[in-house]
Amino acid sequence: MITPIVQRTVMTQPTAAIEVSRLVKAYGGVTAVNDISFRVGRGEIVGFLGPNGAGKSTTMRILTGYLPATSGSVHICGLPVAGEPAEIKRRIGYMPENNPLPEDMRVSEYMYFRGRLKEVPRRKLGPRIDEVLEICDLKRVRHRIIGQLSKGYRQRVGIAEAILAEPPVIIMDEPTIGLDPHQILIVRDLIASLRGRMTVIISSHILPEIEVTCDRVLIINQGRVVAQGTPAELRREIIGRHSYRVEFAGDPLRLEAALGAAGAGARCARLGDPGADGFRAATLTTEREEELGESLLAALLAQGLRVRALAREQPTLEDVFLAATRRSWDVVAAPAPAKAEAS
């Protein structure tokens, strides 16, 4: 009797584009990056946020291989950054803050120069330059001197250079800094067009741009990751409560009575002064996730209040960022529990 061979499929976790484990960077007695770990999946666009001095730029320099870590590990597409720096540089397109560009070169000349340094095959380089100039809307300025370009065009030249060799990972430090709203919109759309094709990690202080562009967000403070997840997940985890803004006229005591009658666990978190027309604004908060607008409106009207507007307010990424960093400061500031004295 022949025993059939049973083939077992081993399910392995796909290799992350970026994997950081227990990363530490210390300068003398100062720890700039303190035991951080995170993963970025292939094709994701991730925002990397933190206040000044939080450790963002240090972490990004370690990711790109420009700065060694004190301890811990970083892998890019499964390769260790510390062990294979040359291979890592082929897999990363890096756009630093205030990207230094040659003032006296034409855009097309610079692209050709960088393509040769990045070892793009000569027969593919010309078509690839045409492609990235099209993607970045730079064809009209391809023969212009870089030093004569506006800030917005120069930022696009930096992005074009970063994606030129088609690396699987793109790292951008403040890609929209100093741009006007129209230029920010162009760069936002350009970054969004990379979704699924390349993994992108962006450091920025412009939180609304991160919120509309990124799939997930990492928030770092004092060298530690204090929050990570999608904007919706972070709103639920960190903010928790849900807010409604109501404009009404009438006795504020009746507002409190209406909130009690609504049975939604809502309370008045902020009450404004009445205007000349007698209407005032109030912010109502509740832990309940379901939509409560209709029940709140019915309770307000039942108390004889005149309601001009009632709308649910969505916490912004800025609200999440401030709450997450404030929470991490509170943890650090909390006094350590006193040790019992030995008798």
* Helix-helix angle 181-192:151-163, to 10 degrees: 10
- Give the C-alpha separation, 282 to 252, whole Å: 10
Q: Can you name the residues that pair with 310 across neighbouring β-strands?
A: 246
Q: Using 50, 70 and 90 to split pLDDT, how confident is the model at 6?
A: very low
In this structure, what DSSP letter does residue 287 have?
Answer: S
CA separation for the pair 112, 161 (Å, rounded) = 10
Domain boundaries, the chain: 18-229, 240-317
Q: Which two tokens stand for residue 81?
A: 């950054």
Of the CA atoms within 13 Å of residue 304, those in its CB half-sphere come to 5
In tens, the pLDDT along 283-328 reads 898 877 778 889 999 999 999 999 999 998 888 888 888 888 887 6
- Confidence band for 255, pLDDT divided at 50, 70 and 90: very high
Hey, what CATH topology would domain 18-229 get?
Answer: Rossmann fold (3.40.50)
- The hierarchical CATH code for the domain 240-317 is 3.30.70.260
